[in-house]
Amino acid sequence: MPESNFIDYVRIFCRSGKGGAGSVHFRREKYVPKGGPDGGDGGRGGHIIIKGNRNLWTLLHLRYMKHIFAGDGGNGRGGLKTGSGGKDIIVEVPLGTIARNTEKETTLFEITSHDETQILIHGGRGGLGNNHFKSPTNQTPRYAQPGEPAVEGWYTFELKILADIGLVGFPNAGKSTLLSVLSAAKPKIADYPFTTLVPNVGIISYRDNKSFVMADIPGIIEGASAGKGLGLKFLRHIERNSLLLFLLPADSNDIVKEYHILLNELKKYNAELLDKKKVLAISKSDLLNDDLIREIKKDLPEVPSVFISALTGFHIDALKDMLWKELNT
């Protein structure tokens, strides 16, 4: 997926359909001169419905959709005929999409499963025809209800990628390379910072036809929680991961210090992220001998850790085992 095609935030002006008006009508036939009221009800206005689609990974298809208008309900007619219902508009979104009322700054719902539907805005109810208002003392009501008006406003859609594991690390730590080795994903890889500008998602095959989903989140830099670098653009995606895989290169000047910098940025953004399970992988371990590995192990944080090399395949299976264990305990 080209970087420019990944859109995770859109704002759209939405309007539901207004309800149709009830009818004021009286039955008039050749031999029934005083048939009484028979005005039908107005039709319901169209809803705007949000539907989950697991085959979508971006909000790109909504980027240039500035307005979404549902259909209006039809007016009632004589003979107790109800007006036609307004056309519902169904908007498909990726799993992990949150809908918000922009003006009220309220979260309405989130879509997390395939084919899940939520009504963003209800269409107006149709008005009652004059048939409903007849009584022994008012046998010829000459009034009916108008339909409910449409509801309109600005709504925000924000995508937070749903993945079991989020890859966390500094730019150029080897996250994209690891994802490409673990899965069939083909992220852009090059030897310079910020190669990854959007999250990449891969499905990792495991034993006995099991699998889990990993997201390569663009690299964190110190100050990311304040918006530096790619900042808040990617931190939102980490919130949805069940487990965080911290990836730090073996040639780092200070692995422990860099680990704590990453933790600190997550804490500043959302302290609840620190409650997630964590695994530490030391990449580029083909550069180390056994003595260096033992020396580095002494100072590592107290989280499950493994030394790996995506280039040679060193301990890649051990990493999968560790991730699966942590996801399922």
CA atoms of 309 and 60, how far apart (whole Å) = 35
Q: What ranges in the chain are assigned the alpha helix state H? A: 175-182, 232-238, 255-269, 290-297, 316-327
Domain boundary (119, 144, 159) is at: 159
Q: Are 155 and 169 found together in one domain? A: no
pLDDT tens, residue by residue, 296-323:
898 899 899 999 998 898 999 999 999 9
CB 123 within 8 A of CB 44: yes
Q: Are 146 and 116 found together in one domain? A: yes
Supply the pLDDT for residue 56: 87
CATH number reported for the structural domain that contains residue 142 in this entry: 2.70.210.12
Q: Are 141 and 171 found together in one domain? A: no
Q: Are 21 and 101 found together in one domain? A: yes
pLDDT tens, residue by residue, 237-267:
777 788 999 999 988 889 999 999 888 888 8
What is the total count of domains within the chain? 2
pLDDT band at 233 (very low <50, low <70, confident <90, very high): low
Q: Are 233 and 133 found together in one domain? A: no
Q: Tell me which residue range forms the domain holding 78.
A: 1-159
- How much is the pTM? 0.71
Measured at the CA of 103, the angle between CA 100 and CA 107, to 5 degrees, comes to 25
Flag whether pLDDT at 225 surpasses 80.
Answer: no
Q: Are 181 and 319 found together in one domain? A: yes
Q: Are 66 and 36 found together in one domain? A: yes
pLDDT tens, residue by residue, 75-134:
999 999 999 999 999 999 999 899 999 999 999 999 999 999 999 999 999 999 999 999
Domain boundary (142, 159, 176) is at: 159
Q: What ranges in 60-173 are assigned the alpha helix state H? A: none
Q: Are 258 and 284 found together in one domain? A: yes
CATH number reported for the structural domain that contains residue 261 in this entry: 3.40.50.300
Q: Are 213 and 116 found together in one domain? A: no
Q: Are 261 and 118 found together in one domain? A: no
Cβ neighbour number for residue 226 with a 10 Å cutoff: 12
Domain boundary (102, 137, 159) is at: 159
Q: Are 181 and 146 found together in one domain? A: no
Top pLDDT among 33 and 180 is at 180
Report CA-CA distances (Å) from 134 to 25, 27, 198.
Answer: 12, 13, 63
pLDDT tens, residue by residue, 133-164:
999 889 889 999 999 999 999 999 998 877 88
Q: Are 109 and 169 found together in one domain? A: no
Flag whether pLDDT at 195 surpasses 60.
Answer: no
Tell me the β-bridge partners of 305. Answer: 280
